[in-house]
Amino acid sequence: MRSANSPISACTRRDRAAAAVAAPALLAAALWAAWPLPHLPNPDPAPGAPDHPTNHPTDAAEPPPFDRQAFAAAIWNPPPQPERPAELAAAPAPPPLPRLQLIGIAHDAGPDGLPVLRAALYNPDTDRLHILAAGERIGTVTILAVEPGLVRFDSGGRPGELRLRQENPGS
């Protein structure tokens, strides 16, 4: 047996009080919604309305035929966009520059014994390291010049350059 001041007894009393108030209110709202309204006659019907004296049920005129053209109007369609000039529409976007990374520059001896600078380039797309001198190619990229700390290249007519990252001394 619960005591009179326990939290569960208090909650039960609150629920019963809420139900005692809500039930009559709900019943009154349902009766009000279902109660029929009195029919009041229209004191001045508009011409063309069914209650107007000029419209008699004996005047059984044939309704007009269905007109499909009434629904052919483009109501919700946006206006047509102006045409773009052919030179703007035909110009393709240039290919992006390759994602090459300059890893280092090495001094090497060329075929004639003279020193040649070679660039170590990493291509993350193919996961390959390429060692190239000036004039050599990787796909569409041509190495134009290899200088200490710098590589100049041409990719499909677009020049570019890669520089060695300078590490901060003492870090």
Write out pLDDT tens, residues 80-133.
778 777 666 566 777 777 788 899 999 888 788 888 999 999 999 889 999 999
Q: Could you tell me which residues come within 8 angstroms of residue 124 by beta carbon, excluding any fewer than 6 positions away?
A: 99, 101
Q: What ranges do the domains of the chain cover?
A: 1-36, 101-163
CA 115 to chain centre: 56
pLDDT tens for each residue of 1-45: 567 788 888 899 999 999 999 999 999 999 999 988 887 776 665
CA dihedral 88, 89, 94, 96 (to 10 degrees): 120
pTM for this entry: 0.44
